[in-house]
């Protein structure tokens, strides 16, 4: 991922201490730009050796002291991608995956 591939979209939501918070950001990888918003869900994958999971962005901010761009993300994994695996209580498998919707985030985990 090239430098400055992540850009904040829109105005800041507020500031607390050294942190400035945002509602949305965009990622440019190989010329393709995608936007991500707080509270929305996205298919993500670290790389092809890792399972696809669903990410929910909960906080997006920048630390003004070191200019680092950060995000708090809740990850949801399919039961079969966890140590115990899928159990009977997990119910029926329904997985709708479109590889065009999956974004690889090599530096986020």
- Read off the pLDDT of residues 73-102 as tens digits, 9 standing for 90 and up: 998 888 888 888 877 777 765 555 554 544
User: CA separation (Å) from 96 to 4, 53, 57, 72, 88?
Assistant: 32, 12, 20, 25, 20
Q: Which fold has domain 6-78+92-104?
A: SH3 type barrels. (2.30.30)
Which secondary-structure segment (H or E) carries 102? none
Alpha-carbon gap, residue 57 to 20, rounded angstroms: 16
Average pLDDT over residues 40-45: 89
The model's pTM is 0.70
Alpha-carbon gap, residue 88 to 9, rounded angstroms: 43
Q: Which residue, 70, 73, 67, is CA-closest to 53?
A: 73
Mean pLDDT of the chain: 81
Q: How many CB atoms lie within 10 A of CB 99?
A: 8
Of 25 and 50, the structure prediction assigns the larger pLDDT to 25
Of 61 and 101, the structure prediction assigns the larger pLDDT to 61
Q: Delimit the domains of the chain by residue range.
A: 6-78+92-104
> Cα 79 vs. chain centroid, distance in angstroms?
19
């Amino acid at each position: 991922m090239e430098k400055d591939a992540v850009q904040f979209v829109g105005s800041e939501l507020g500031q607390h201490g050294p942190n400035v918070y945002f509602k949305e950001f965009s990622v440019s990888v190989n010329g393709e730009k995608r936007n991500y918003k707080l509270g929305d869900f996205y298919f993500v994958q670290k790389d092809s050796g890792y399972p696809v999971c669903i990410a929910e962005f909960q906080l997006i901010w920048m630390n003004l002291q070191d200019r680092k761009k950060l995000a708090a993300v809740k990850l949801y994994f399919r039961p079969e991608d966890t140590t115990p695996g899928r159990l009977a209580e997990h119910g029926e498998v329904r997985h709708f995956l479109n590889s065009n919707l999956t974004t690889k985030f090599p530096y986020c985990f």
